[in-house]
Amino acid sequence: MLRTRQRWPLSICLTAAASGVVLAYLFQLPIEREVPGEPFLLFLLVVIASTLAFGASAGFLATALSTILSFLFFEPIGSFAVLHAVDLIKIELYAVVAACSVIAFARLSNVVIAARENAESLKRLNESKSILLRELAHGVANNFASIAALITVRSTTISDAQARSVLDEAVEQIRIMGQVHSRLRTSDRDVSLGSQDFLENLCDELKASLARGRQISLECEVHDLQLTTHQAVSVGLIVNELVTNAVKHAFPDGRKGCIRVGFEALENNQLQLSVEDDGIGFVNGQQRGSGLGQELVKGLAHELGARLEVKSSETGSAFVLRMPYVSPIQTAAPSSTLIH
């Protein structure tokens, strides 16, 4: 607004400033005759307003014009003659104060305008950054999908069942990373992902792909939190590994069962991820599944700075991870703690 007015033609700015001084004079002169006094306060306000609205040139014109009109308020009233030297000194002091005010407020106006333009420039830059980040995330998600499809096609030509199983697990992990990038949310300050939407969709896909034809239910109770990309990928991979493990090993011989995935915020800025089942538990206290899968979960937990607790009995098993919450706007990585 200030920049727009100051870009008006100079003649319009000067005319507006002069009109303001004249209006102040016409307003104040009748009052002066009833209640004699000095006109400087109102004139100074007009000078400041003219400077802020129209720039330094208009402010200096208002200063000069108001200084001249000030003579009319001293004896003899209505004349440019001044009888007392002290009145002349007052007028001169007013001219000096008004001129200094013009310089000061002109600089203040320039600072305000520059700050506003910088803020608008940063806003446009952040908007452009958000668009680029969204496009990048979309492109990365498509690349992950292409890689997963390529591995799936190639795995059909492999006769070794164990090798095919390893490739299938790799495909699932790649798809999870693709999901993370496809659901990224970008704003002016961060890139994040909502935990509820991400984990619920992941559970739906796991149930459709793993528990097909089995009487195994998969429940998901997740608090909606904004996660960093690193947290989301690691949490997703851990859930994928533990749920896959439970479906394959916790319910043998077509046994019915339930797997529960939980994710919530705790006190002291902590998060808790849990994957529980009501299956057969571990045989002879040994964790089920491949050693590679166990090492993957432990490695991911270590990357998250998480503490992993494992409980198992004949009535089921529970994996609970407690980790520090890292806000998407924080740059520091979570500190690591010992994994049990």
Residue that the structure tokens 């043998």 belong to: 252
Q: Are residues 269 and 171 in the same domain?
A: yes
pLDDT at 160: 81
pLDDT at 146: 80
- Give the number of residues written for the chain: 340
Closest CA to 108 of 2, 241, 233: 2
pLDDT at 188: 43
Q: Is residue 339 part of a domain?
A: no
pLDDT at 174: 80
Q: Are residues 115 and 165 in the same domain?
A: no
Domain span including residue 99? 2-122
Range 121-137 burial, b when 16+ CB lie within 10 A, else e? eeeeeeeeebeebeeeb
Q: Which residues contact 164 (CB under 8 A, 6 or more apart)?
A: 155, 158
Last residue of a domain, one of 65, 98, 122: 122
Q: Is residue 67 part of a domain?
A: yes
pLDDT at 220: 93
Q: Are residues 170 and 313 in the same domain?
A: yes
Q: Are residues 210 and 261 in the same domain?
A: yes
Collapsing DSSP to helix, strand or coil, 240 comes out as helix
Q: Are residues 197 and 88 in the same domain?
A: no
- The whole-angstrom separation of Cα 180 and Cα 240 is 13
Last residue of a domain, one of 69, 104, 122: 122
Query: CB 340: neighbour CB atoms within 10 A?
Result: 9
pLDDT at 151: 81
Q: Is residue 149 part of a domain?
A: no
E strand or H helix at 261:
strand 257-266
**In tens digits, what is the pLDDT along the chain, a chain of 340 residues?**
556 666 678 888 889 889 999 998 888 877 666 555 678 888 999 999 998 888 889 999 999 999 999 988 888 877 788 888 888 899 999 999 999 999 999 898 888 888 888 888 888 777 666 666 666 666 766 777 788 787 877 777 787 877 877 777 777 778 777 766 666 655 444 567 788 888 888 888 888 777 667 788 899 999 988 888 788 888 988 998 898 888 888 888 888 899 999 999 998 889 999 999 998 887 554 555 556 677 888 888 988 899 999 988 888 899 999 999 887 765 444 433 333 3
- The whole-angstrom separation of Cα 248 and Cα 253 is 10
Q: Are residues 117 and 182 in the same domain?
A: no
Q: Are residues 185 and 117 in the same domain?
A: no
Q: Is residue 169 part of a domain?
A: yes
Q: Are residues 176 and 275 in the same domain?
A: yes
- The whole-angstrom separation of Cα 17 and Cα 25 is 13
Q: Are residues 173 and 317 in the same domain?
A: yes
Last residue of a domain, one of 102, 122, 142: 122
In this structure, what CATH number is given to the domain that contains residue 165? 3.30.565.10
Q: Is residue 138 part of a domain?
A: no
Q: Domain count for the chain, please give it.
A: 2
DSSP codes joined into one string, 4-24: HHHTS-HHHHHHHHHHHHHHH
Q: Is residue 143 part of a domain?
A: no
Q: Is residue 271 part of a domain?
A: yes
- The whole-angstrom separation of Cα 273 and Cα 321 is 5
pLDDT at 76: 82
Long-range contacts of the stretch 5-8 (C-beta < 8 A, 24+): 5/53, 5/54, 6/53, 6/54, 6/55, 6/109, 6/113, 8/54
Q: Are residues 86 and 162 in the same domain?
A: no
Alpha-helix runs per DSSP H in the chain: 2-6, 10-34, 40-54, 56-70, 85-155, 161-182, 195-210, 229-249, 291-303
Q: Is residue 198 part of a domain?
A: yes
pLDDT at 314: 82
Q: Are residues 115 and 170 in the same domain?
A: no
* CA 232, chain centre distance (Å): 17
Q: Are residues 198 and 308 in the same domain?
A: yes
